[in-house]
Amino acid sequence: MSPGFVENHAHLMLMGPTLPAMEANTTWEDFAIHGARMAEMYLMQGFTTVRDAGGANGGLRRAIEAGQIDGPRFFPSGAFIGTRGGHADFANFTAPPGSETNMSRLNLAQEVSGVDDVYKFARNNFRMGATQLKFMQSGGVVSAFDPWQLLAGSPEEIRAAVQVANEYGSYVMAHSYRKEAILSALDAGVMSIEHGFSFDCDIAQVMNEKGAYITTNLTAFDPGLLDIPAVANVPSSLAKAKSASATFAGYIDNMKECPVKRGFQTDCVGSVEACNIQIAYEKHLNNEFFGPYQSMVTLTSIGGEIVALSGDFMNPYTDGKLGVIEEGAYADILLIDGNPLEDFSVVGTGDQWFGADPRPESPETIRLIMKDGVIYKNTLD
């Protein structure tokens, strides 16, 4: 028996295949249908709670809670908040600054220039059903305009996001890569560091003082990262990936030496089938790097603590704890055939990423999936 798993960093609406394609060719129907299918897939993989890290508003949760579609408890961040040329800038290359985009019309990503923009779009996110905010504070690898080392957003802009989140009793999650970015986010009051690849023992000390959390997609440390198509086929991404891999090499050892509370993150953008594979592989890498016990804690109780940061007003699920099995907690429970501490594969791992065979709709070893006392899968009889 296990608490239902908690995904702390997904993008249920973002179907890919690339960021420019979503800007140019993807309609609201495409996003909505993809999001509904992703929600169902996550639940059947044993995730009874998902935090969305940008690109989803409150509509998907409404459909899940109304019983129109099956899905996990859902904590969306609304639109990504980011600067021009930053990691949330999906505009066409020729688009002038501040222009309306497909992503901004649907409130999936918003470009900010100055604290007034941050106030405007941060408050709008909460109005649209967000439970926390997502600030893009660093660049990325598989994106067009941003070096991964970018320090995006002034301290004032990040603090403005934290201020609005605090007005709602909630918090900010920040996409932060470089040590300078992570420390400045923590200084501004950010409670959830996303990716945090330059993590080290100095950062651990500050995080522990502030009670902050980190979630990291361990696929970034996959030895085959440089061969994946989205990286290998784009020279600028390949160059960025090489320099990033070199800088991020200390993460695993640093996390073992100076542990902090680390949540599970898949960060998949792509088809439902590809994300199903990536989730299973992310589970596998957690066990490879940190062993089964720490991986179970990451998949369950720490995840429950992270989503609870959304506070008493914005958290839609305040009647009990998530990510644990105890009296008074929500009845989000998995029955698993086997002991994950002896054989971690029973939680539904996959040991291959690109080129892996399609995965089953639900792992055979997860025999029962219950959310809020309702059974969504039962192969016990």
Would you give the binding string for Zn ion spanning residues 160-179, x where CB under 5 A is met? Answer: --------------------
State the Cα–Cα distance between residues 138 and 59, nearest whole angstrom: 28
Residue 267 engages Zn ion in binding (rule: CB under 5 A): yes
- Near Zn ion by CB under 5 A: residue from 13, 14, 53, 172: 53
Give min distance, CB of 82 to Zn ion, in A.
Answer: 12
Among the listed ranges 52-60, 86-94, 239-247, 284-292, the one in contact with Zn ion (CB under 5 A) is 52-60
Give min distance, CB of 327 to Zn ion, in A.
Answer: 35
Q: Which is nearer to Zn ion, 142 or 356 (CB)?
A: 142
Per CB under 5 A, which of residues 57..96 are in contact with Zn ion?
A: none
Give min distance, CB of 217 to Zn ion, in A.
Answer: 8
3-state SS of the chain? CEECEEEEEECCCCCCCCHHHHHHHCCHHHHHHHHHHHHHHHHHCCEEEEEECCCECCHHHHHHHCCCCCCCEEECCECEEEECCCCCCCCCCCCCCCCCCHHHHCCCEEEECCHHHHHHHHHHHHHCCCCCEEEECCCCCCCCCCCCCCCCCCHHHHHHHHHHHHHCCCCEEEEECCHHHHHHHHHHCCCEEEECCCCCHHHHHHHHHHCCEEEECHHHHCCCHHHCHHHHCCHHHHHHHHHHHHHHHHHHHHHHHCCCCEEECCCCCCCHHHHHHHHHHHHHHHHHHHHHHHHHHHHCHHHHHHHHCCHHHHCCCCCCCCCCCCCCCCCCEEEECCCCCCCHHHHCCCCCCCCCCCCCCCCCCEEEEEECCEEEEECCC
- Residue 35 contacts residue 70 (beta carbons within 8 Å): no
Give min distance, CB of 277 to Zn ion, in A.
Answer: 17
Q: Which is nearer to Zn ion, 283 or 377 (CB)?
A: 283
Q: Which is nearer to Zn ion, 216 or 295 (CB)?
A: 216
Q: Which is nearer to Zn ion, 53 or 255 (CB)?
A: 53
Give min distance, CB of 11 to Zn ion, in A.
Answer: 6
Q: Which is nearer to Zn ion, 44 or 268 (CB)?
A: 268
Give min distance, CB of 267 to Zn ion, in A.
Answer: 4
Among the listed ranges 78-86, 160-168, 255-263, 267-275, the one in contact with Zn ion (CB under 5 A) is 267-275
Tokens (6 digits) for 337: 């055939």
- The β-bridge partners of 74 are 50
Among the listed ranges 50-58, 114-122, 224-232, 361-369, the one in contact with Zn ion (CB under 5 A) is 50-58
What residue is closest to Zn ion based on CB? 267
Q: Which is nearer to Zn ion, 2 or 176 (CB)?
A: 176
Give min distance, CB of 90 to Zn ion, in A.
Answer: 13
Contact partners, residue 381, CB within 8 Å, separation at least 6: none
Among the listed ranges 123-131, 230-238, 265-273, 319-327, the one in contact with Zn ion (CB under 5 A) is 265-273
**Overall size of the chain counted in residues:** 381
Among the listed ranges 31-39, 75-83, 224-232, 264-272, the one in contact with Zn ion (CB under 5 A) is 264-272
Site size for Zn ion (CB under 5 A): 2
Among the listed ranges 123-131, 147-155, 266-274, 302-310, the one in contact with Zn ion (CB under 5 A) is 266-274
Q: Which is nearer to Zn ion, 177 or 290 (CB)?
A: 177
Give min distance, CB of 301 to Zn ion, in A.
Answer: 22
User: Alpha carbon of 64 to those of 47, 170, 205, 364: distances in Å?
Assistant: 14, 22, 39, 24
Among the listed ranges 105-113, 130-138, 240-248, 261-269, the one in contact with Zn ion (CB under 5 A) is 261-269
Q: Which is nearer to Zn ion, 192 or 365 (CB)?
A: 192
Q: Which is nearer to Zn ion, 77 or 365 (CB)?
A: 77
* Number of other residues whose CB lies within 10 A of the CB of residue 272: 17
Residue 229 CB burial class (10 angstroms; 0-12, 13-18, ≥19): exposed
Q: Which is nearer to Zn ion, 115 or 193 (CB)?
A: 193
Per CB under 5 A, which of residues 231..260 are in contact with Zn ion?
A: none
Residue numbers of the site for Zn ion (CB under 5 A)?
53, 267
